[in-house]
Structure 1
Amino acid sequence: MPFTATYSQYLYIGASAPNASTTYTNDAPTVTSSTLSDTEDGTDDGDIAPGQLIDWSASGGDVQVVGTTASGDPVVLAVGAGSYFVLSNSPFPPGGTPMGFTASTYTMCFAAGTGIAVPGGEVPVEALSIGDLVLTAEGAAVPVKWIGRQTKHSLFSGAMSKLVRIRAGALGDGLPHADLTVTGDHGMVLDGLVINASALVNDDSIDWVPSSELPETFTVYHVETEDHDVILANGAPSETFIDYRDRRAFDNFGEYLDLYGCERIIPEMAHPRISSARQLPAELRARLALELSPCKGAICA
């Protein structure tokens, strides 16, 4: 059964390919329900990369996905007409507002239900509030500066924002103590390294969550503290939010601006970052039973 996504309105944004400076138009949106279906790219797995074809019920011809807006809404090209549209279930911003267009989306987040260590126990990430204390891996209690939320659509999640499931005990020493689900770009801290979860996938104890197991939409969260910290997620050392450029993609970005007035750059911790399995030390690869070939899963790292 193909993945589908239904939107309440769509907006014509012109005949030129969108880029980072593209803005919303002053045109009135077409307020009518339309559906995108993953039936045209040779699979029905809900993974639609920029440039791949998709079926759009509002169009009688070929349609390509070209990317997403900062809020995660899909941007498509009606190929025959050479017209670009953005689809949404939310009101469109005023004309002239930057779309924040990207060809893919990268977001470092925890899935709902992740237990974050706090003084006295654990709290589900979605239950944390600004000002709550969380424990670092060193045992310090630090306040939460912000909890970012983003609604993701399984049909349009870029590869690095797809979910990686780390099975209980997969990282060694019984950690995490329960299955942990994070996005592919989220950094786990092992042996003094910050390692993107995507680089840890071994297609066994650490694997990509199949799109077929995901609901049409789901929410992911990030925990921001004053510094780039190491906190405990289901007991496993994990980074707090770092990439300020992605903050605009969160549902509650406006809340951040209301609280703090502007975005900020968070200096990254001194630990080296690893984004590819090939960069992992051999000892760590062996410990995680991570084979580099043949390439499996959602991404060849």
Structure 2
Amino acid sequence: MPRLPVDRGADAEDMANTIFGEGVTVVDATYTGDNRASGVYSNGDSVSPGVTPGDSGVILSTGNARNFSNGSGGFNQDTNQSSNMNGIDNDAGLNALAGANTYDGAILEVDFIPTGDTMTMQFVFASEEYPEYVNSIYQDFVAVNINGSFVPMEIGNGDVDPGNINGGENESLFINNTGGAYNTEMDGFTLTMTLTIPVNAGVLNTIQFIIADVSDSSYDSSLLIAAGSVQTALVANTDTVNVGLNGTRTVDLLANDENTTGGTLTITHISGQPAVVGVPITLGSGQIITLNADGTVTFEGDGDEETVNLTYTVESSTGTTDTGFITITQAPCFAAGTFILTPFGEVPVEHIAVDDLVETLDNGPQPVRWHGSRTVQATGKFAPVLIAEGTFGDHRALTLSPLHRVLIGGAWSELLFGEDEVLVKARDLVNGKSIRQIEGGTVEYHHLLFDDHQIVFSEKLATESYLPGPQTSASFDPEIVNELCTLFPELKDSDGTGYGQMARPGLKTFEVAAMANWALAS
């Protein structure tokens, strides 16, 4: 395989005009650093497939840009590629960005006028610091400054360096090349990633693209920016997808993207792999992702509690492309995805709309009067409660908010409380084994409200519907509270009790101690 062609004779304006695209006018450009450390590369798709962010673009390096790949023999023959250059050493500004001494720095600075107020770029970071120094002081880094301010990435700690993207952190964005599978001398590199850059539309802006060695001048690193990718016409905004353990979620990733190209958008890649309708893509972390015929994407979670960052690439029919991040938050409790029994079968709670009928224990099918949802951090008092399959009879595993009540009956409730059935808060059922409270990530809670308090079937377990009360105003935004009070004027009572009676007696926390011991033994 030949060496990746790099034109090191390209000047600053050549490089700027190569990477800036639609919706941006380049006014001026300057380059500071060793001239051997920069250039315009070409034929990336054929010479270094799977490495470069585009077929052509710009490379900035802390070493000799031509040494990004070699011209003969196999790939990645030198495990410690180093080139001491006459770049920027110990610049105060670069040292401040890195938090350490910097060496072999290279800076491309461009003055430009954008038509939009958000600009993106598609790039790859590659480094010889992988994998040995991902947890060391040798954090060769990339930085982008816009109008004097640092622009962080929207994942991890925001840095573009080996410590933030590697085989242990954000692994779905990283490729280990120590085995020489790819045509680059770098031991590791990222997938094509993105920066979302705030700019001032219609006026002059200044941007700096920066790379530098950190703490010493050894081991090369490179920044590759795709041609035409620094643009304002198409912005693929970050999407957050909440998926329950072993659950599924279908999302329209394009819904929040900004498109002024005049063309139609299509998802072309997911996590660096070609996206083909109906063909699943399996991440190294275990999730399965499938592009659907309608342009939506279905995410299938695995059984691990984790957060996974990945990318997707979108292309306009005009030819403009952009890359966006997807953050999958996989936690044990997401009411989204919980199946609720209706007269027509079980339906995910997020698909139930106002006026839809839901089966209730006491009154048969009842119409939903209001459906609310809220996404919160799954910590402290908001951490979800996971009830294992079969804990209370023939039901599937299910997750509830801590205050959501479960219908419990049997001899013990009759003996202790004189009631055939009682309602118990999920948090009061926690026993550390079959019922656990789990923290981490975010959780999306859903609430179904009927004309009266009802018992419904969630994953075949009898649980309560939403019961308005004093907590309503504290739990929701004023707009939602006003909506509820319009639907149910009685809620305007100051104590919040005007809605009606609880469907079954509710136990207080201290009354549930006996039940917790029973659940622990079950």
TM-score computed with the length of structure 1 as normaliser: 0.51
Which residue of 390, 393, 413 maps to 1:169? 390
Please give the per-residue CA displacement for 1:1-22, whole angstroms capped at 9, x wherever unaligned. Answer: xxxxxxxxxxxxxxxxxxxxxx
Contact 2:428 2:516 in 1 (8 A): no
Counterparts of 1:99-138 in structure 2, within 5 Å, are: 111-138=335-362
One of 476, 481, 502 as aligned partner of 1:250:
476
Cα separation, partners in 2 of 1:268 and 1:148, compared to 1, 3 Å: same
Return the offset for 1:262: 4.7
Change (3 A) 1:152 1:118: same
1:272 aligns with 2:496: no
Alpha-carbon separation, structure 2, partners of 1:135 and 1:261: 21
Q: Cα offset for 1:290? A: 5.8
Cα 1:250/1:280, change in 2 over 3 Å: same
CA contact (8 A) 2:467 2:502 kept: no
CA 1:209/1:281 → structure 2, altered by over 3 Å: closer, same or farther?
closer
Contact 1:163 1:184 in 2 (8 A): yes
RMSD: 3.3
Deviation at 1:135, TM superposition (A): 0.5
Please state whether the residue corresponding to 1:148 is helix, strand or coil. strand
SS at match of 2:368: strand
Say whether 1:289 aligns with 2:517: no
Superposition pairs of residues 177-192 of structure 1, within 5 angstroms: 178-191=396-409, 192=421
Structure 1 consecutive aligned stretches of length 4 or more whose deviation exceeds 4 Å: none
C-alpha distance in 2 between matches for 1:290 and 1:132: 39
- Which secondary structure state, in structure 1, belongs to the residue aligned with residue 369 of structure 2? strand
Q: Which amino acid aligns with 2:388?
A: R
1:230 to 445, 452, 455: 455
Distance 1:238 1:158, change over 3 A: same
Distance 1:258 1:209, change over 3 A: same
TM-score of the superposed pair, with normalisation by structure 2: 0.31
Q: Hey, what's the Cα distance between the residues in 2 that align with 1:270 and 1:239?
A: 8
1:145–1:290 CA distance, 2 compared to 1 (3 A) = farther
Q: One-letter code of the match for 1:229?
A: Q
Displacement of 1:158: 4.4
Q: Secondary structure of the equivalent of 2:504?
A: coil
CA contact (8 A) 2:431 2:516 kept: no
Q: Is the 8 A contact 2:380 2:439 kept in 1?
A: no
Deviations 1:209-254 (A, max 9, x none): 132xx2xx33211110110111111111111111333334336716
Partners of 1:121 and 1:141 in 2: how far apart? 12
1:226, 1:287 → 2: CA distance?
A: 34
Asked whether the equivalents of residues 112 and 221 of structure 1 are also in contact (C-alpha less than 8 Å), the reply is yes
Q: Report the Cα offset of residue 275 of structure 1.
A: 3.5
Q: Which residue of 1 aligns with 2:273?
A: none
Counterpart AA for 2:356:
D
Residue type at the aligned position of 2:504: H
SS at match of 1:111: coil
Q: Tell me if the contact between 1:198 and 1:275 (Cα under 8 Å) persists in the aligned partners.
A: no
Q: Shift in Å at residue 137 of structure 1?
A: 1.8
Are the structure 2 counterparts of residues 255 and 289 from structure 1 closer, same or farther at C-alpha, using a change threshold of 3 Å? same
Shift of 1:267: 1.4
Please state if 1:219 is matched with 2:444. yes
* Superimposed CA distance per residue, residues 118-137 of structure 1 (whole angstroms, 9 cap, x where no aligned partner): 00211111111000000012
Distance 1:165 1:152, change over 3 A: same
Q: Which one has a bigger Cα radius of gyration? A: 2
Residue deviations 1:119-167 (CA, integer Å, cap 9, x gap): 021111111100000001246000001011112123xx542x3200001
Counterpart of 1:266 in 2: which secondary structure? coil
Q: Do the aligned partners of 1:199 and 1:274 also contact (CA within 8 Å) in 2?
A: no
| Larger RCO of the pair (alpha carbons < 8 Å, separation 6+) | 1
> C-alpha deviations, 1:178-236, integer Å up to 9, x for none?
2111011110011111100011111111101132xx2xx33211110110111111111
Deviation, structure 1 residue 274: 1.7
Q: Deviations over 1:93-128 (max 9, x none)?
A: xxxxxxxxxxxxxxxx97211111100211111111
Q: Tell me how far apart the structure 1 counterparts of residues 374 and 469 of structure 2 sit (CA, whole Å).
A: 14
Q: How many residues align?
A: 176
The residue type paired with residue 256 of structure 1 is E
Asked if the contact 1:110/1:222 (under 8 Å) is kept, the reply is no
Query: What is the CA-CA distance between 1:268 and the residue it aligns to?
Result: 2.4
Query: Contact 1:186–1:239 at 8 Å: present in 2 too?
Result: yes
Per-residue CA deviations over 1:20-55 (Å, capped at 9, x if unaligned) read: xxxxxxxxxxxxx99xxxxxxxxxxxxxxxxxxxxx
Report the Cα offset of residue 269 of structure 1. Answer: 2.2
AA matched with 2:448: V
**Partner residue in 2 for 1:22:** none
Separation of aligned partners in 2, 1:168 and 1:141: 25
Q: Which residue of 2 aligns with 1:206?
A: 435
Q: How does 1:45-194 map to 2 (within 5 A)?
A: 111-138=335-362, 140-154=364-378, 157-159=379-381, 161-171=382-392, 173-175=393-395, 178-191=396-409, 192-194=421-423
Distance 1:273 1:110, change over 3 A: farther
Q: Report the secondary structure of 1:202's partner residue.
A: coil
Kindly provide the amino acid, as one letter, of the partner of residue 151 in structure 1: T
Q: Secondary structure at the match of 1:289?
A: helix
